[in-house]
Amino acid sequence: MSQNDLGDWYRGIPKITRYWFTAAVVVPLAAKFGVVSGGWLVLDYFQFFHNFQIWRPITAAIYYPITPMTGFHYLITLYFLYSYSIRLETGIFAGRPADYVFLLIFNWITTIILALALNIPIVFELLVLAALYIWCQINRDQIVSFWFGTRFKAAYLPWVLFAFNLIIRGGGIHELLGIFVGHTYFFLKFKYPLDFGGTSLIETPQFLYKYFPNTRSGVSGFGAAPQSRRRDVNGDDGNNGGRHRWGEGRRLGE
Protein backbone atom coordinates (compact mmCIF):
# COMPACT_ATOMS: atom_id res chain seq x y z
CA MET A 1 0.00 0.00 0.00
CA SER A 2 1.48 3.33 -1.07
CA GLN A 3 1.63 6.35 1.19
CA ASN A 4 -1.21 8.01 -0.73
CA ASP A 5 -3.34 4.88 -0.48
CA LEU A 6 -2.70 4.68 3.26
CA GLY A 7 -3.62 8.32 3.70
CA ASP A 8 -6.80 7.91 1.67
CA TRP A 9 -7.76 4.85 3.71
CA TYR A 10 -7.17 6.68 7.00
CA ARG A 11 -9.08 9.79 5.94
CA GLY A 12 -11.93 7.56 4.78
CA ILE A 13 -12.53 6.22 8.28
CA PRO A 14 -15.61 7.90 9.84
CA LYS A 15 -14.65 10.69 12.24
CA ILE A 16 -15.54 9.21 15.62
CA THR A 17 -14.13 5.80 14.75
CA ARG A 18 -10.98 7.49 13.43
CA TYR A 19 -10.41 9.28 16.74
CA TRP A 20 -10.98 6.11 18.76
CA PHE A 21 -8.88 3.93 16.45
CA THR A 22 -6.01 6.45 16.40
CA ALA A 23 -5.92 6.75 20.19
CA ALA A 24 -5.99 2.96 20.53
CA VAL A 25 -2.93 2.74 18.27
CA VAL A 26 -0.88 5.73 19.44
CA VAL A 27 -1.17 5.23 23.21
CA PRO A 28 -0.19 1.51 23.32
CA LEU A 29 2.70 2.15 20.90
CA ALA A 30 3.88 5.10 23.01
CA ALA A 31 4.01 2.80 26.02
CA LYS A 32 5.62 0.03 23.97
CA PHE A 33 8.52 2.28 22.90
CA GLY A 34 8.98 3.87 26.32
CA VAL A 35 7.58 7.32 25.55
CA VAL A 36 5.32 6.94 28.57
CA SER A 37 5.19 4.31 31.30
CA GLY A 38 2.30 1.89 31.09
CA GLY A 39 1.95 2.12 34.85
CA TRP A 40 0.72 5.70 34.45
CA LEU A 41 -1.99 4.65 32.01
CA VAL A 42 -3.86 1.93 33.87
CA LEU A 43 -6.84 2.45 36.16
CA ASP A 44 -5.82 2.46 39.81
CA TYR A 45 -8.38 3.16 42.54
CA PHE A 46 -5.92 4.69 45.01
CA GLN A 47 -4.10 6.84 42.46
CA PHE A 48 -7.38 8.05 40.97
CA PHE A 49 -9.21 8.96 44.17
CA HIS A 50 -6.37 9.82 46.54
CA ASN A 51 -3.70 11.27 44.24
CA PHE A 52 -6.24 12.79 41.82
CA GLN A 53 -4.67 11.27 38.72
CA ILE A 54 -7.85 11.94 36.81
CA TRP A 55 -6.51 10.92 33.41
CA ARG A 56 -6.42 7.22 34.31
CA PRO A 57 -10.07 6.38 33.44
CA ILE A 58 -9.44 7.81 29.97
CA THR A 59 -6.08 6.20 29.29
CA ALA A 60 -7.27 2.84 30.66
CA ALA A 61 -9.91 2.88 27.91
CA ILE A 62 -7.39 3.17 25.05
CA TYR A 63 -4.27 1.48 26.47
CA TYR A 64 -3.34 -2.17 25.98
CA PRO A 65 0.09 -3.62 26.84
CA ILE A 66 1.77 -4.94 23.68
CA THR A 67 4.03 -7.91 24.40
CA PRO A 68 4.93 -11.07 22.44
CA MET A 69 2.19 -12.85 24.41
CA THR A 70 -0.51 -10.20 23.98
CA GLY A 71 0.34 -8.63 20.61
CA PHE A 72 -1.87 -10.90 18.49
CA HIS A 73 -4.86 -10.47 20.79
CA TYR A 74 -4.36 -6.70 20.71
CA LEU A 75 -4.45 -6.72 16.90
CA ILE A 76 -7.62 -8.82 16.87
CA THR A 77 -9.29 -6.44 19.34
CA LEU A 78 -8.13 -3.47 17.28
CA TYR A 79 -9.66 -5.06 14.19
CA PHE A 80 -12.97 -5.51 16.01
CA LEU A 81 -12.85 -1.85 17.09
CA TYR A 82 -12.24 -0.69 13.53
CA SER A 83 -14.78 -2.99 11.91
CA TYR A 84 -17.73 -2.75 14.26
CA SER A 85 -17.32 0.89 15.22
CA ILE A 86 -17.48 1.77 11.52
CA ARG A 87 -20.59 -0.38 11.10
CA LEU A 88 -22.31 1.38 13.97
CA GLU A 89 -21.23 4.87 12.95
CA THR A 90 -22.26 4.43 9.31
CA GLY A 91 -25.31 2.29 10.09
CA ILE A 92 -27.91 3.17 12.69
CA PHE A 93 -25.92 6.26 13.76
CA ALA A 94 -25.27 7.56 10.23
CA GLY A 95 -25.45 11.36 10.24
CA ARG A 96 -25.79 11.44 14.05
CA PRO A 97 -22.28 11.66 15.54
CA ALA A 98 -23.54 13.09 18.85
CA ASP A 99 -25.67 10.01 19.45
CA TYR A 100 -22.76 7.71 18.71
CA VAL A 101 -20.47 9.72 20.98
CA PHE A 102 -23.08 9.37 23.73
CA LEU A 103 -23.14 5.60 23.23
CA LEU A 104 -19.36 5.50 23.71
CA ILE A 105 -19.53 7.80 26.75
CA PHE A 106 -22.31 5.74 28.33
CA ASN A 107 -20.36 2.52 27.79
CA TRP A 108 -17.19 4.15 29.11
CA ILE A 109 -18.81 5.40 32.33
CA THR A 110 -20.48 2.05 32.96
CA THR A 111 -17.22 0.22 32.28
CA ILE A 112 -15.17 2.46 34.58
CA ILE A 113 -17.64 1.93 37.43
CA LEU A 114 -17.34 -1.84 36.99
CA ALA A 115 -13.57 -1.66 36.66
CA LEU A 116 -13.17 0.35 39.87
CA ALA A 117 -15.45 -2.04 41.73
CA LEU A 118 -13.70 -5.16 40.39
CA ASN A 119 -10.15 -3.76 40.33
CA ILE A 120 -9.70 -4.11 36.56
CA PRO A 121 -6.82 -1.89 35.39
CA ILE A 122 -7.45 -1.91 31.61
CA VAL A 123 -10.89 -1.59 29.98
CA PHE A 124 -9.97 -1.26 26.30
CA GLU A 125 -11.18 -4.75 25.47
CA LEU A 126 -14.42 -4.30 27.42
CA LEU A 127 -15.36 -1.19 25.47
CA VAL A 128 -14.69 -2.86 22.12
CA LEU A 129 -16.77 -5.90 23.09
CA ALA A 130 -19.60 -3.64 24.25
CA ALA A 131 -19.73 -1.89 20.85
CA LEU A 132 -19.54 -5.23 19.06
CA TYR A 133 -22.38 -6.61 21.20
CA ILE A 134 -24.63 -3.64 20.39
CA TRP A 135 -24.06 -4.07 16.65
CA CYS A 136 -24.74 -7.80 16.93
CA GLN A 137 -28.03 -7.16 18.72
CA ILE A 138 -29.15 -4.62 16.13
CA ASN A 139 -28.19 -7.06 13.35
CA ARG A 140 -28.86 -10.26 15.28
CA ASP A 141 -30.14 -12.29 12.31
CA GLN A 142 -27.32 -11.37 9.94
CA ILE A 143 -25.00 -14.27 9.15
CA VAL A 144 -21.34 -13.71 10.03
CA SER A 145 -18.31 -15.91 9.49
CA PHE A 146 -15.70 -16.73 12.09
CA TRP A 147 -12.44 -18.63 11.94
CA PHE A 148 -12.23 -22.01 10.23
CA GLY A 149 -15.22 -21.15 8.04
CA THR A 150 -17.84 -21.35 10.79
CA ARG A 151 -21.02 -19.37 10.08
CA PHE A 152 -23.73 -18.33 12.51
CA LYS A 153 -26.08 -15.47 13.33
CA ALA A 154 -24.52 -12.23 14.61
CA ALA A 155 -26.43 -12.59 17.88
CA TYR A 156 -24.13 -15.47 18.82
CA LEU A 157 -20.82 -13.76 17.98
CA PRO A 158 -20.17 -12.22 21.45
CA TRP A 159 -20.74 -15.61 23.05
CA VAL A 160 -18.49 -17.33 20.53
CA LEU A 161 -15.74 -14.83 21.41
CA PHE A 162 -16.32 -15.52 25.10
CA ALA A 163 -16.02 -19.28 24.58
CA PHE A 164 -12.99 -18.86 22.32
CA ASN A 165 -11.10 -16.76 24.89
CA LEU A 166 -12.17 -19.06 27.70
CA ILE A 167 -10.65 -22.05 25.89
CA ILE A 168 -7.59 -20.43 24.31
CA ARG A 169 -6.57 -17.89 26.98
CA GLY A 170 -8.28 -19.25 30.07
CA GLY A 171 -10.06 -15.92 30.49
CA GLY A 172 -13.47 -14.69 29.48
CA ILE A 173 -14.31 -12.23 32.26
CA HIS A 174 -13.63 -9.22 30.02
CA GLU A 175 -15.93 -10.62 27.35
CA LEU A 176 -18.71 -11.17 29.90
CA LEU A 177 -18.33 -7.65 31.28
CA GLY A 178 -18.29 -6.20 27.76
CA ILE A 179 -21.50 -8.10 26.99
CA PHE A 180 -23.04 -6.77 30.20
CA VAL A 181 -22.12 -3.16 29.38
CA GLY A 182 -23.38 -3.44 25.80
CA HIS A 183 -26.60 -5.11 26.91
CA THR A 184 -27.20 -2.37 29.49
CA TYR A 185 -27.15 0.27 26.76
CA PHE A 186 -29.15 -1.83 24.31
CA PHE A 187 -31.82 -2.66 26.89
CA LEU A 188 -32.26 0.91 28.13
CA LYS A 189 -32.28 2.47 24.67
CA PHE A 190 -34.00 -0.09 22.47
CA LYS A 191 -35.30 -3.26 24.11
CA TYR A 192 -37.26 -1.71 26.98
CA PRO A 193 -39.16 0.80 24.80
CA LEU A 194 -39.88 -1.74 22.03
CA ASP A 195 -40.55 -4.99 23.90
CA PHE A 196 -41.96 -3.63 27.16
CA GLY A 197 -43.86 -0.60 25.93
CA GLY A 198 -41.86 1.88 28.00
CA THR A 199 -40.10 5.08 27.05
CA SER A 200 -36.41 5.37 26.26
CA LEU A 201 -34.53 5.58 29.55
CA ILE A 202 -31.43 7.28 28.14
CA GLU A 203 -31.19 10.22 25.75
CA THR A 204 -28.26 12.10 24.26
CA PRO A 205 -27.57 15.33 26.21
CA GLN A 206 -28.32 18.40 24.13
CA PHE A 207 -24.85 19.90 24.61
CA LEU A 208 -23.33 17.06 22.57
CA TYR A 209 -25.28 18.21 19.51
CA LYS A 210 -23.47 21.54 19.78
CA TYR A 211 -20.07 19.90 19.44
CA PHE A 212 -21.16 17.04 17.16
CA PRO A 213 -24.02 18.43 15.06
CA ASN A 214 -26.09 16.15 12.88
CA THR A 215 -24.74 15.92 9.35
CA ARG A 216 -28.09 14.92 7.91
CA SER A 217 -30.68 17.72 7.72
CA GLY A 218 -33.96 17.29 9.54
CA VAL A 219 -32.70 14.42 11.68
CA SER A 220 -32.52 14.31 15.44
CA GLY A 221 -32.27 11.58 18.02
CA PHE A 222 -31.24 8.02 17.28
CA GLY A 223 -33.25 7.44 14.14
CA ALA A 224 -34.84 4.07 13.54
CA ALA A 225 -34.37 1.56 16.30
CA PRO A 226 -34.43 -2.21 15.79
CA GLN A 227 -37.98 -3.45 15.54
CA SER A 228 -39.56 -5.47 18.29
CA ARG A 229 -39.14 -9.19 17.82
CA ARG A 230 -42.84 -9.55 18.50
CA ARG A 231 -43.48 -7.74 15.21
CA ASP A 232 -41.06 -10.07 13.41
CA VAL A 233 -43.07 -13.06 14.64
CA ASN A 234 -46.17 -11.54 13.06
CA GLY A 235 -44.49 -11.55 9.66
CA ASP A 236 -43.10 -8.01 9.47
CA ASP A 237 -40.55 -8.03 6.67
CA GLY A 238 -38.67 -5.00 8.03
CA ASN A 239 -39.67 -2.69 5.19
CA ASN A 240 -42.16 -0.64 7.19
CA GLY A 241 -42.14 1.12 10.52
CA GLY A 242 -38.99 3.04 9.60
CA ARG A 243 -36.59 0.17 10.12
CA HIS A 244 -33.22 0.56 8.48
CA ARG A 245 -32.30 -2.01 5.81
CA TRP A 246 -28.82 -3.25 6.56
CA GLY A 247 -28.03 -5.04 3.30
CA GLU A 248 -25.87 -8.12 3.16
CA GLY A 249 -23.03 -6.79 5.35
CA ARG A 250 -19.52 -8.16 5.38
CA ARG A 251 -17.92 -11.27 6.74
CA LEU A 252 -15.41 -11.16 9.53
CA GLY A 253 -11.89 -10.89 8.19
CA GLU A 254 -12.87 -9.28 4.88
Residue 61 lies in a domain: no
Q: Determine contact, residues 169/73, Cβ cutoff 8 Å.
A: yes
Residue 130 lies in a domain: yes
Residue 40 lies in a domain: no
In which domain, by residue range, is 226 found? 71-233
- Predicted local confidence at residue 237, as pLDDT: 42
Tally the C-alpha atoms within 13 A of residue 190's C-alpha that lie toward its C-beta. 21
Dihedral, CA of residue 79, residue 80, residue 84 and residue 89, to nearest 10: -60
Alpha carbons 139 and 248: distance in angstroms, whole number: 10
- Predicted local confidence at residue 227, as pLDDT: 54
- Predicted local confidence at residue 225, as pLDDT: 52
128 band by pLDDT with thresholds 50, 70 and 90 = very high
Q: Give the mean model confidence (pLDDT) for residues 115-124.
A: 96
- Predicted local confidence at residue 218, as pLDDT: 44
The total number of structural domains in the chain stands at 1
Residue 51 lies in a domain: no
- Predicted local confidence at residue 146, as pLDDT: 79
Mean confidence (pLDDT) of the chain: 84
pLDDT tens for 157-193 read: 999 999 988 888 777 889 999 999 999 999 999 887 7
pLDDT tens for 215-248 read: 865 444 444 455 544 444 334 444 443 333 334 4
Listed residue (165, 177, 163) closest to 128, CA to CA = 177
2 band by pLDDT with thresholds 50, 70 and 90 = low
Beta strands 143-145 and 151-153, pairing class: antiparallel
Listed residue (138, 134, 226, 142) closest to 180, CA to CA = 134
- Predicted local confidence at residue 167, as pLDDT: 86
Where do the DSSP E strands lie in the chain?
Answer: 143-145, 151-153
In this predicted structure, the answer to whether residue 25 has a pLDDT above a threshold of 60 is yes
- Predicted local confidence at residue 239, as pLDDT: 40
Residue 21 lies in a domain: no
pLDDT tens for 130-152 read: 999 999 999 999 998 877 778 88
pLDDT tens for 54-74 read: 999 999 999 999 998 888 999
- Predicted local confidence at residue 209, as pLDDT: 95
Residue 156 lies in a domain: yes
The whole-model pTM stands at 0.82
User: In a 3-state reduction of DSSP, which class is residue 243?
Assistant: coil
Angle at 231 between CA 227 and CA 236, to 5 degrees: 90
1 band by pLDDT with thresholds 50, 70 and 90 = low
Residue 66 CB burial class (10 angstroms; 0-12, 13-18, ≥19): middle
Alpha carbons 13 and 214: distance in angstroms, whole number: 17
Residue 240 lies in a domain: no
